[in-house]
Amino acid sequence: MEQYIIKGGIPLVGEVEIGGAKNAALAIIAAAIMTDETVIIENLPDVRDINVLLEAMQEIGANVIRVDRHTARINGGKIGAHSVDYEFIKKIRASYYLLGALLGKYKEASVPLPGGCNIGSRPIDQHIKGFEALGATVKIEGGFINAKADYLHGAHIYLDMESVGATINIMMAASMADGNTVIENVAKEPHVVDVANFLNSMGANIKGAGTDVIRIKGVKKLHRTEYSIIPDQIEAGTFMFAAAATCGDVLVKNIIPKHMEGASAKLTEMGCIIEEYDDAIRVIGRKPLRPTRVKTAPYPGFPTDMQPQIAAALAIADGTSMVTESIFENRFKYVDELARMGANIKVEGNRAVVMGVEKYTGARVSAPDLRAGAALVIAGLAAEGITIVDDIHYVQRGYERFEEKMKGLGAKMERVDSEKELQLFKYREG
Ligand code: UD1
């Protein structure tokens, strides 16, 4: 099993290039099969979740050509089955986007109930409510979600919570329904806007993405397009908090600074210097980091997907911070791992009281999920001594060439696959 091994204590310095947004890309590649014409998608991140979804799409007959590492050509003209029964798909949450895409195009879809990161119970009742409002019958049978409609019609849908997945899924299906759909209380995340822009570039008629209300005029057909995915806000934030935790100086490039406002504001409160450019942000860390309060919230609030990373930095701040998680109930599983590195964090319900310690010390830890794994890497980079992170397959779901990008910033970090490689690193760096 692959592991990361890190010799910490070196400030990250230099420039890092951010890739395409994983969570936008997952929805966009699923939506690409909604036309029979060929769609070209650029700035696609080369990460495990994306590759699994592309394979699942091929299983049902989509033609997928990886033109290069970050570009795919997708043709959904010969989709045979509307039922996705691909073993690995259960492991990725976003497999549910195939429901909206297939239901919209073929009025029929069958997809295994999604898995994904174990960060709490993750119901999909809002997706189902939306599909039903559009005229589909939805049943959960044998671990599958089966959705079917004679025809889809426009509807007025009010979401009980600002769910990213439900907003995107309903938006996809409604794009090819008869008539007008209004979805209220929708998610406003940058990737919701990106998916709407993508669908519009295929001929859909979606207005209001990025606001509380999305209005959709259904169209009969979608057509070819070429589309470049927005930069990954969470990957960018991860490097920003890594810069802060190591007291480094990092220029995070190829991003949309507006999407980073939550992270930038917190880093400023923590005493870092933030310089904003057109498509980059420079983070200069300053010791000691100052404590702060953070509460995760739907966009434009502080993203839940950056909660473990900021907590990893705050655990070595000079004072006590409060981290409140308001989206998922099980997102503090990294706390016990950080404790092994010397952190002093007490979890009370959905709040973590983070009592800053002077430093982390390297230890062997295990990634409990994707973003928590990234947080452990941040701690390892800041720690004194050597840290080994197990279960990095979680991290590889969402970070492309993570260790290479860190190494580009001067980190001593390797991805190893054997005891021999591990010992070699220790011998070289220890
Ligand atoms: C997406 C992201 C994930 C991120 C999350 C919140 C993808 C592939 N994943 O997940 O990385 O952490 O947004 O920004 O894009 N809920 C319901 N019923 C539903 C749907 C959601 O109760 O039908 C609840 C969830 O349990 C959660 C909240 O709504 O408490 C937000 O979830 P949602 O925005 O849907 O998250 P995902 O789309 O699963």
- For residues 79 and 202, state if they share a domain: yes
CB-CB contact of 69 with 50 (8 Å): no
pLDDT of residue 9 exceeding 90? yes
> What is the predicted pLDDT for the residue at 112?
86
> What is the predicted pLDDT for the residue at 84?
80
Contacts of 128 (CB under 8 A, 6+ apart): 138, 145
Residue 114 binned pLDDT confidence (cut-offs 50, 70, 90): confident
What gap in Å lies between CA 419 and CA 65, rounded to an integer?
Answer: 36
> Whose Cα sits closest to atom 9 in ligand 1?
23
Q: Model-level pTM? A: 0.96
How distant, in Å, are the alpha carbons of 216, 230, 277, 300, 342 from that of 254?
31, 9, 10, 20, 34
> What is the predicted pLDDT for the residue at 90?
72
- For residues 280 and 390, state if they share a domain: yes
**Which H or E element spans position 26?**
helix 22-31
> What is the predicted pLDDT for the residue at 216?
98
Catalytic residue, chosen from 111, 117, 124, 173, is 117
- For residues 253 and 205, state if they share a domain: no
What gap in Å lies between CA 430 and CA 422, rounded to an integer?
Answer: 11
Q: For the chain, what is the domain count?
A: 2
CB-CB contact of 273 with 339 (8 Å): no
- For residues 251 and 210, state if they share a domain: no
CB-CB contact of 193 with 229 (8 Å): no
Please, which residues bridge with residue 158 across strands?
Answer: 184
Residue 115 binned pLDDT confidence (cut-offs 50, 70, 90): low
> What is the predicted pLDDT for the residue at 89?
73
- For residues 262 and 387, state if they share a domain: yes
Residue 262 binned pLDDT confidence (cut-offs 50, 70, 90): very high
Residue 113 binned pLDDT confidence (cut-offs 50, 70, 90): confident
- Of 327, 330, 371, 397, the residue with max ligand 1 atoms within 8 A of its CB, to mutate for a pocket test, comes to 327
pLDDT per residue as tens digits for the range 264-291: 999 999 999 999 999 999 999 998 999 9
pLDDT of residue 143 exceeding 90? no
- For residues 187 and 279, state if they share a domain: no
Residue 195 lies in a domain: yes
- For residues 235 and 271, state if they share a domain: yes
Round the average pLDDT of the chain to a whole number and report it. 95
- For residues 14 and 27, state if they share a domain: no
pLDDT of residue 87 exceeding 80? no
Residue 85 binned pLDDT confidence (cut-offs 50, 70, 90): confident
Which atom of ligand 1 sits closest to the CA of residue 121?
Answer: 26
> What is the predicted pLDDT for the residue at 20?
98
Residue 430 binned pLDDT confidence (cut-offs 50, 70, 90): confident
Which atom of ligand 1 sits closest to the CA of residue 371?
Answer: 11
Question: Once rounded to an integer, what is the mean pLDDT over residues 377-398?
Answer: 97
93 versus 13: the higher-pLDDT residue is 13
Which atom of ligand 1 sits closest to the CA of residue 305?
Answer: 12
> What is the predicted pLDDT for the residue at 268?
98
10 Å Cβ neighbour count for 258?
Answer: 11
- For residues 47 and 72, state if they share a domain: yes
Pocket of ligand 1 (CB under 6 A): 23, 26, 93-94, 122-127, 161, 163-166, 187, 304-305, 327-328
Please choose, from the candidates 119, 123, 120, the residue with its C-alpha nearest in 3D space to the C-alpha of residue 372. Answer: 119
Residue 226 lies in a domain: no
Of 189, 216, 243, the residue at which a domain comes to its end is: 216
Residue 384 lies in a domain: yes
- Portion of the chain with pLDDT greater than 90, in percent: 89
Domain that holds residue 212: 22-216
Residue 225 lies in a domain: no
> What is the predicted pLDDT for the residue at 118?
55
- For residues 202 and 296, state if they share a domain: no
Residue 224 lies in a domain: no
Please choose, from the candidates 349, 340, 350, the residue with its C-alpha nearest in 3D space to the C-alpha of residue 315. Answer: 340
pLDDT of residue 120 exceeding 60? no
pLDDT per residue as tens digits for the range 418-427: 999 999 999 9
> Whose Cα sits closest to atom 30 in ligand 1?
327
pLDDT of residue 126 exceeding 80? yes
- Of 129, 161, 186, 230, the residue with max ligand 1 atoms within 8 A of its CB, to mutate for a pocket test, comes to 161
What gap in Å lies between CA 246 and CA 249, rounded to an integer?
Answer: 9
C-alpha 163 – ligand 1 centre gap (Å): 5
Assign residue 192 the CATH number of its domain.
Answer: 3.65.10.10
Ranges assigned E (strand) in 190-310: 205-207, 213-217, 225-228, 249-253, 273-276, 280-284, 293-295
> Whose Cα sits closest to atom 35 in ligand 1?
163
Of 216, 249, 269, the residue at which a domain comes to its end is: 216
Residue 26 binned pLDDT confidence (cut-offs 50, 70, 90): very high
Of 216, 242, 276, the residue at which a domain comes to its end is: 216
Question: Once rounded to an integer, what is the mean pLDDT over residues 208-234?
Answer: 98
φ, ψ of residue 353 to 5 degrees: the values are -95, 115
- For residues 205 and 350, state if they share a domain: no
Residue 223 lies in a domain: no
- The yes-or-no answer on residue 247 being catalytic is no
Residue 221 lies in a domain: no
C-alpha 169 – ligand 1 centre gap (Å): 12
DSSP string, 370-404: HHHHHHHHHHHHHSBSEEEEE-THHHHTT-TTHHH
- For residues 146 and 62, state if they share a domain: yes
> Whose Cα sits closest to atom 21 in ligand 1?
163
